[in-house]
Amino acid sequence: MPARTRLALPVQPPIAPMLAKRVDAIPEGDGWLFEPKRDGFRAIVFFDGDGIVIQSRDSKPFNRYFPELEEGLPRALKRPIVVDGEIVIAGAEGLDFGALQ
């Protein structure tokens, strides 16, 4: 599925992602959610039900680097959506950043 520059979504790529900030201590109290740092590539996926754009955290296109995602994500997503996440490869020993490169 080829990438398009204009998708039928209310949010158009590229957009600047929110970036994590290093802190000295985890905040205390209710209302906080945490997730582990994954060793992969940060990506924002834009899918309008037809076209797909995979964007790096630096707002550069990732489609050409991950053609298998460009092909497989539309089957998994099934409906228009914008997803911010991490591209990782999970192996028998855990996440494999070397294989991802």
Strand runs (DSSP E) across the chain, as ranges?
A: 41-47, 52-56, 81-87, 90-91, 94-95
Contact between residue 70 and residue 52 where contact means Cβ atoms under 8 Å apart: yes
Residue 45 resides in a domain: yes
78 has catalytic annotation: no
25: pLDDT confidence band, cut at 50, 70 and 90? confident
Contact between residue 59 and residue 98 where contact means Cβ atoms under 8 Å apart: no
What pTM value is reported for the model?
A: 0.78
Residue 52 resides in a domain: yes
Taking only the tens place, the pLDDT of each residue in 66-86 is 999 999 999 999 899 999 999
56: pLDDT confidence band, cut at 50, 70 and 90? very high
The one catalytic residue among 21, 37, 60, 78: 37
CATH number (domain holding residue 58): 3.30.470.30
The domain in which residue 61 lies consists of 41-100
* Total count of domains within the chain: 1
